[in-house]
Structure 1
Amino acid sequence: MDTASSKYRIHKCFKCPGDTEYHCVSCPCDLCPQCKENHVKDLQTIDHDVVSHRDKINYIPTQEICVRHPSHVYIKYCEPCGLPVCFHCRKHKTHKQLDVRTVYKTKQQQHRGTIHTIRSEALFYRPVLLPRMKTDFKTCHTEFSLYQSEMLTKAQTLKNLINKLRKDFMKNVFCDFDFKHRCLKQMIEMSRHIVSLQEYELRYVQPEFTFSALQFLSSIKTALPQIHLTLHTSQLSMTESLNKEDVMESLSAIQITERGNRRVGNQCLLKLTSGAEFHQSLTVTGVDRCYHISCVTSDRVWVSDRDNLMLTDTTGVPLHRVEDSCSDLYGLHTVNSESELIYIDRKRNINKLSKDMKTTTTFIERTDSTWEPRCVYWSLSTGDLLVGMDNYDTWTGKVTRYNQSGQLTQTIQNHITGRGLYREPNYITENNNGDVVVSDSFSAVVVTERGGRHRFSYTGPPSGSVLRPRGICTDALSHILVCDDRTKTVQMIDMDGQFLSHLLIRPSGIFSPQSLSYDVNTHRLSVGSEHNNTVVIYRYITRQDALTDLNPATADVMGVTE
């Protein structure tokens, strides 16, 4: 065969002349390591499926050496033990075994989401976190040096105190032992004396003896040994006490003021674009309007209208329908951190639908007929469920908070003056600072602190148009977004209630925006229509320019995750 005349196709990166090592299945296109790195952290393509070329051709490494038998390679996977095994791993012979290639593919698919998060998020934070960690390390070294001599002095003082107490204790223990010994000795002497008295009594009370009482006492005095009783007391005591407060004071010179995982503020990573950019539009089958949207993943969302609650993918194909959801409610569903659906049913109970959509359980049962739940939101930061409720008899509303066990922990209802805060809460969400944000159809966007204190109520922009709020959400930069039914706009205000801009004005394909949902992973905004079953997805947040170009070392780290 003439190899010189054979034709070969050389894969090149579609963005630069570099050699390709990766392939984007979503685009599709070939990418070099540096362009792949930019591709997975770009918010426009952050959810794309990027694989190495060896994964594309289903390459699976088979020459991994067995750690127990270095001359052999793994060929099977022991399912009960969760370990790869070779032919000579005898103790696994009776266990259920699977082909190592099959298990490799399964595990790779299971952890694809984690790998994607590392590529697109964790490594993106690296340039911000590392300098801060180095700075904190230097600060800690300086602070510890200041405390070192003081700690050594206090440690020696504490050691001397403990040694003194230990010696004092041992001394008193032996003193206590001597006390018990003397008491035992005296008890024996008293027993012997009593026996002697009994012997003399028997002897001198016999009829043949006619001693007088005086003679009897006189004879006892001279004949019996005398016993002298002494009072003994234990001398067990400590000459110096060791208090817990003294020990804590000696050991707590260094205070840890902050705990938890190190985080990067979104203000350091993200920024607003010049305007909202169209990303995608989808038509949701199974609903005729889009009253509310709850994101599950970047490619799955729950959408509801007046009577239906549907799970759909990003192509609009229906995946599941909830049969018992409540009618005529707006923000009636939310998704928790386990991707489970939380929704209000026809009996006004709050139910939980499992991730596999096979099990429905009652999370909170309605017990008060005067109050009806109207909207729900699961807090990703606290794991609490926020519920907006109203009372038709009094025409008032309130917000209740439940923990993960379904127990009521808080009620927010009135202003500090006693005036009611809500009338008809239709949508509810939470901001990054813990503020509870409510869209009240007959008043305003009402914002309270996590503790319940009223912060502000937003009633419209400075132009003077009165707000008629509908769907609401917050974003990664703590902005509050709200649909206005009066002006057919999506308005953006800051976390303190100041109007910033009209993000969308009568958006194409929707015209009258009704519902909002912000995806914290892709930083995309889904907007649902009031009059049709269209959901349009926009991008208005991007990453900071200073962080878009990472050094080559990051690319090497990203290659390890393959």
Structure 2
Amino acid sequence: MSHDYLSIQKHEQKFEQIANAPVRFLSFIEKNRLPLIRDTLYLTQHCWPSLNEKIKMKDLIKLLSELQITDTDKRQVKTVSLLKMISTLVLHKSVTVKGINRVNHISFVTSDRVWVSEDNDLILVNTEGDTLHHLTDVNCKWGGHTVNSSCELLYIEKDGNVKKLSNDNKRISTLIKRRTMWRPSCIYSSPINGDLLIASMYIDGPPGWGTWKAKVEKYHQSGKYKKTIMHIRKGQKLLDQPMYITENHNGDIIMSDWIQGVVVTEQSGRHRFSYKGHPPGPLLKPCGVCSDALLNILVCDDISQTVHMIDNNGSFLSFLFTEQLGIVIPMSLCYDDKTHLLWVGCQNNDRVLVYRYIVRQYSLTSPWNYMSSTIQ
């Protein structure tokens, strides 16, 4: 069953990638012997060939090449309504990553492969722990890499430039060149609009005596600068030492800051809330951060050595992990939106643990509902 499930996932991912590129999608259909399409509907002459002519596949491809497939809000709500949290976490898999001593950060590629980093080492592994690719000229002490919608790796190299590795792992190019004293610390590619979110910081003043300054910059996926987010309001800084950055499904920007805790802003940059821990416990010292399909925010805490779960308005929900579950010092998190599995990296070993705490729920109120939910 597991083998068949993974096989279905691979076909689904391949289909979705093709479906988001109309030309490739229609070419794919043509290769599978799609019957010749004849015009049977009333269409304007400005858009379609004459009604007396057959519509050729190449003409159809040309006419539909501008189509883009997007998820509507209604579809998102429907998907979320089918999900629920379970009371006990279930260990799905344990992956040992050879060549590292801890897992600083995880970037999801597909359901069977992820990028894992430790300081200057960035490794692509599959669910069996096999090393598929290895980079060393990187600065991944924290959240220094991400994967875009084209499955291309974006990472911060040692000199502060942002590099892009092609999805076949053969070509490296410079996407954003560092030109100031600001040094990028973490990066994230938005699956919503493709924008890049890059948090940077520097010490203003002599070493040991200066103060930290930090900001978040938005870039187009092509590397063109768009916007800077730096202050809550005039005179009040938003960040001190941002270490990890991600985005919630509602568009909120989520940052893990060693001093400020979890800092959340709207897409526009307006500050929504900051979460600094769950009283009466000590202040949060956050590391890796992610969000799940239910809009919950998960953050690793270096003090309590567990994972805090809060809702999308900053209210504490629960501690997600305990030492009994095999998580000793959680460092990094990555949530898979397709399988609803949570990947967790530890600070004290070379393992990535994969857990399930969200499952699909189905309504059995009628045969039709049962059939619909089964098909979905």
TM-score interval w.r.t. the shorter chain? 0.7 to 0.9
Paired residue secondary structure (1:411) = strand
Which stretches in structure 1 are left out of the alignment for 5+ residues?
A: 1-23, 28-46, 52-108, 118-258
Could you list the per-position Cα deviations for residues 256-310 of structure 1 after superposition, in whole angstroms to 9, with x for gaps in the alignment? Answer: xxx9745231431211111322111111112211000011011100000122100
Greater strand proportion: 2
Which ranges of 4 or more aligned residues in structure 1 deviate by more than 3 Å? 111-117, 259-262, 507-510, 547-558
Distance 2:246 2:373 in 1: 38
| AA at the equivalent of 1:288 | N
Determine the structure 1 residue equivalent to 2:92. 279
Distance 1:25 1:270 in 2: 21
Determine the structure 1 residue equivalent to 2:275. 458
**Shift in CA distance, 504/450, structure 1 to aligned 2, threshold 3 Å:** same
Distance 2:320 2:2 in 1: 32
Paired residue secondary structure (1:366) = coil
| AA at the equivalent of 1:355 | N
User: Is the contact between residue 362 and residue 373 of structure 2 (CA under 8 Å) also seen in structure 1?
Assistant: no
Determine the structure 2 residue equivalent to 1:473. 290
Greater helix proportion: 1
User: Is the contact between residue 287 and residue 331 of structure 2 (CA under 8 Å) also seen in structure 1?
Assistant: yes
1:324 to 113, 137, 148: 137
Determine the structure 1 residue equivalent to 2:110. 297
2:150 to 338, 353, 362: 338
TM-score, normalised to structure 1, is: 0.53
Matched, 1:263 2:71: no
Determine the structure 2 residue equivalent to 1:26. 3
Larger Rg: 1
Matched, 1:371 2:182: yes
Paired residue secondary structure (1:404) = coil
Paired residue secondary structure (1:309) = strand
User: Is the contact between residue 287 and residue 310 of structure 1 (CA under 8 Å) also seen in structure 2?
Assistant: no
Q: Which has the higher contact order (CA 8 A, sep 6+)?
A: 2
Distance 2:357 2:273 in 1: 25
User: Is the contact between residue 525 and residue 538 of structure 1 (CA under 8 Å) also seen in structure 2?
Assistant: yes
Matched, 1:412 2:199: no
User: Is the contact between residue 507 and residue 513 of structure 1 (CA under 8 Å) also seen in structure 2?
Assistant: no
**Shift in CA distance, 541/260, structure 1 to aligned 2, threshold 3 Å:** closer
**Shift in CA distance, 453/116, structure 1 to aligned 2, threshold 3 Å:** closer
% same residue: 45
Q: Which moved more, 1:499-508 or 1:512-521?
A: 499-508
Could you list the per-position Cα deviations for residues 491-537 of structure 1 after superposition, in whole angstroms to 9, with x for gaps in the alignment? Answer: 10000000000011235443000000000111100110001111111
Distance 1:423 1:116 in 2: 39
Shift of 1:555: 9.9
Distance 2:8 2:241 in 1: 46
**Shift in CA distance, 416/522, structure 1 to aligned 2, threshold 3 Å:** same
User: Is the contact between residue 120 and residue 137 of structure 2 (CA under 8 Å) also seen in structure 1?
Assistant: no
User: Is the contact between residue 363 and residue 373 of structure 2 (CA under 8 Å) also seen in structure 1?
Assistant: no
Determine the structure 2 residue equivalent to 1:500. 317
Alignment RMSD: 2.7
**Shift in CA distance, 315/354, structure 1 to aligned 2, threshold 3 Å:** same
**Shift in CA distance, 428/555, structure 1 to aligned 2, threshold 3 Å:** closer
User: Is the contact between residue 510 and residue 531 of structure 1 (CA under 8 Å) also seen in structure 2?
Assistant: no
TM-score, normalised to structure 2, is: 0.78
Shift of 1:482: 0.2
Paired residue secondary structure (2:321) = strand
Shift of 1:538: 0.6
Paired residue secondary structure (1:495) = coil
Matched, 1:386 2:197: yes
Matches within 5 A, 1:34-45: none
